[in-house]
Amino acid sequence: MTNTTNAIAKVAAIAAVFALATSVVAPAAHADTTTTTTTSAMTATQVTALQNQIASLQAQLSGAQGTTTSTGSMTFTRSLTLGSSGADVTALQNWLVSKGYTIPAGATGYFGAQTKAAVAAYQSAKGISPAAGYFGPTTRASVNAMGGTTTTTTTTTGAGCVAGAAFSSTTGMACGTTTTTGGVTLSGTEGTINNFQTVGASNVTLGTGASQQVYGFRFQAGGSDLAVSRIYFDVGNTSASGTSRPWNVFQNATLTDGSGKTIATVDATNASNWSQDGTVPSGAGAGNQIYRIAFENTNQVVKMDQTQMYYLTLSTQGSFATGNSGGSYEVTLASQGLRATDAAGIQQYTPSSTGSFPANGSTVTVNANATGTVTLSTGSDNPQTTTVAGNQNTVKMGVVLNTFTLANTGNADLTLYSLPVTLTVTGSGGQAANLIQDLKLYQGSTLLDTESPSTSFGTTGSVNFKNIGGAAGMVIAAGTTDRFSVVADIQPVGGSNPAPEGSSATVTIPGTNTDIEAAGGAIITPTGTSSGHAITFVVNGLTIDSAPAAGATWNITTAGNGTQQTGTYNFSFSVAAFGQDIYVSSTSANGVLPVTLYDQAGNATTTQAVTISSGADRSTLGNFVVHSGDSKTFIVGFTKQGQNGVVQAKLTGLKYGTTDANPLSSTYSLPSAYQSSQQFLAD
């Protein structure tokens, strides 16, 4: 507050000095010759002193406050085309991006092919013909009529802001960039939307008057606070049944954050709240219109390096025509559906392209005649593929193998009596009982049932939790979601035990043959599954984080020509050793499997050599060594120059050994969380 007051005072002082200088150098119109001569002599002396004072005050103000740039409503006065450059090109690019038109390279100030395509898209949307991408008189008039929004960016580079300094040593003001967008102040520099992932997407069947969370996603704010300004979802009927018009069956669309707080609710019965966004490309519903529902002006700020989650909940109308029943609606985040502004005032978007519809979406089936509907979904904390330290002489208790939810999305209570799970074991000497002593089903912290695989079970089969709630069963109330977990007690492994070291267990919840009943005994079969991952048990070995410590981070930089971009990717994770020391090669690329790169459609395009670094001790042969009982952080990274396309990186494994002479003898497979979000790299 003091710095701001001082800066304002200095501005006032400069203004006062200018006013004084003007009054001195401007003699009265009626002054005689003698008076004019005397005044002129005084003016020459005073002006010099005043000019020196002005220069001093301006320097102080610049050092204290830095430079403020305001970009807002701009009147475009010239035609722009391929090869044009300048401040008006930058302003046009910022304006187009703010309106949702794609310019992957950002506001470079150079009118290239990407800007031409964005202008053409705008012309097409506004019915301007020809939509050739030439920013001429007609398009200028259209854009000028629409105006723009104001973003103020303050960059402090004044006195005391030495390299690497967070704050000025003389003024106390922050060194760097802060942006005020719509009254919200953001910290950081140019930001990125990192580690975008779909979460909580589930396939559901909704009867009349039902409500269910159907889609979710999460991301991390990189390099800057991010002000989330809008979120768009696409909904399209991919079946031949029902209606393609979602406002005929849905009541409300609600956006919530990861804490369950409601951000906004949109009236889904109002057709004007839905806009067209293409058509279903294939399948039984090919040609059906895809509709977009928008959450505008969300005004959510995600702090730098923090992860935010958002969820979409759809509810159905209390009644709707029978002919509108039976549609299966695919729900997904729209192309560039998430828009956020960083501290540099730059609009950031994800996902960067549509890919195929639906992209990582969920299916919502609407059935007016449903008397009860239950959705089975994988839990958000479902264990990923990992290795767990087993015991050689005692039972290891309470290992979670699967988490899942059962959501009653109907309008009547249901009762759960039994639930089968599929158990698969490997390396157990031919019988699941050699590895699994007991399997337990929990609802939250409440134990519902315990079952044990028999010695005739083999290595895969069904374990049926058949005593849930006793004879009365367990009630799943209408409109509620219950969370469950399958937990195992693990037999001793290694040594002379029947289950050798390296045995693993996987539990999947198929949903089929589950006994859930409505009043009167009607069986309600849940939709969806909960797929488990292999949990491996060893006495001597290592464990690695189930996900990178801060997600798969990346940074995009632009080369001197203003177009080609380079992505720098890093995976940071902890490696813990137990039972004995483990060794990881420190040689570039030898310690890890190559990273695989994917395009926007999810197709592998190439592999990428990587580097590896760690603060772990070095062995005699120069390898990294993680001592038994210790944990060390490893960073795997690489750079990729622009290829004029989408890049997504996935790291699949870490090589290691139990001897210094052979650090590549084993491979630890990493779970799917070791992947970056999709990012466009301009060439």
Looking at residue 426, its pLDDT comes to: 93
Cα 504-507-509 angle, rounded to 5 deg = 170
Helix axes 2-25, 33-65, angle to 10 degrees: 160
> Average of pLDDT values for 469-495?
92
Q: Which amino acid is at 179?
A: T
Looking at residue 82, its pLDDT comes to: 84
pLDDT higher than 90, residue 416: yes
Looking at residue 560, its pLDDT comes to: 56
Looking at residue 588, its pLDDT comes to: 62
Looking at residue 370, its pLDDT comes to: 57
pLDDT higher than 60, residue 24: no
Beta bridge partners of 110: 85
Percent of the chain at pLDDT > 70 equals 79
Looking at residue 50, its pLDDT comes to: 54
Residue 527 vs residues 311, 331, 333, 372: alpha-carbon distances, Å: 20, 16, 22, 12
pLDDT higher than 50, residue 14: no
Helix axes 87-98, 113-126, angle to 10 degrees: 50
Residue 520 binned pLDDT confidence (cut-offs 50, 70, 90) = low
Per-residue pLDDT tens over the stretch 532-567: 999 999 888 888 888 888 666 677 777 655 567 788
Residue 246 binned pLDDT confidence (cut-offs 50, 70, 90) = very high
Residue 395 binned pLDDT confidence (cut-offs 50, 70, 90) = very high
The residues, any chain, with a CB within 8 Å of residue 325's CB and separated by 6 or more, are 241, 242, 249, 366, 367, 368, 369
> Which residue reads 């109330």 in tokens?
477
Q: Residue 358, preceding bond cis, omega within 30 degrees? A: yes
pLDDT higher than 90, residue 578: no
Name the least confident of 417-421, 424-428, 591-595. 591-595
pLDDT higher than 70, residue 25: no
Q: How many angstroms from the chain centroid is the CA of residue 214?
A: 17
pLDDT higher than 80, residue 440: yes
Q: Identify the CA nearest to 402 among candidates 423, 418, 388.
A: 423
Looking at residue 15, its pLDDT comes to: 42
Per-residue pLDDT tens over the stretch 641-660: 766 677 888 988 888 988 99
Contact yes or no for 315/252 (Cβ under 8 A): yes
pLDDT higher than 80, residue 501: yes
Phi and psi at 70, nearest 5°, equal: -115, 125
Helix axes 113-126, 137-146, angle to 10 degrees: 70
pLDDT higher than 60, residue 65: no
Looking at residue 159, its pLDDT comes to: 42
Percent of the chain at pLDDT > 90 equals 33
| Residue 628: how many other CB atoms lie within 10 Å | 13
Per-residue pLDDT tens over the stretch 266-285: 999 999 999 998 899 888 98
> Average of pLDDT values for 415-421?
94
Secondary structure of 391-444 in HEC code, one letter for each residue = CCCCCEEEEEEEEEEEEECCCCCEEEEEEEEEEEEECCCCCHHHCEEEEEEEEC
Measured distance CA(671)–CA(646) in Å, rounded: 22
Per-residue pLDDT tens over the stretch 363-382: 888 877 655 678 899 988 88
Cα 504-508-512 angle, rounded to 5 deg = 150
Per-residue pLDDT tens over the stretch 429-438: 889 999 999 9
Measured distance CA(669)–CA(502) in Å, rounded: 13
pLDDT higher than 50, residue 60: no
DSSP-assigned letter for residue 580: S
Looking at residue 59, its pLDDT comes to: 42
pLDDT higher than 90, residue 109: no
DSSP-assigned letter for residue 68: E
Residue 27 binned pLDDT confidence (cut-offs 50, 70, 90) = very low
Q: How many angstroms from the chain centroid is the CA of residue 169?
A: 36
Measured distance CA(598)–CA(649) in Å, rounded: 6
Mean pLDDT of the chain: 80
Measured distance CA(377)–CA(359) in Å, rounded: 18
Name the least confident of 52-61, 189-198, 311-320, 353-362. 52-61
Looking at residue 124, its pLDDT comes to: 85
pLDDT higher than 50, residue 167: no
Looking at residue 8, its pLDDT comes to: 41
Residue 401 binned pLDDT confidence (cut-offs 50, 70, 90) = very high
Q: Identify the CA nearest to 460 among candidates 389, 510, 399.
A: 510
Looking at residue 202, its pLDDT comes to: 64
Looking at residue 324, its pLDDT comes to: 86
Number of helical (H) and strand (E) elements in the chain, helices listed first: 5, 41
Name the least confident of 125-139, 330-344, 485-499. 125-139
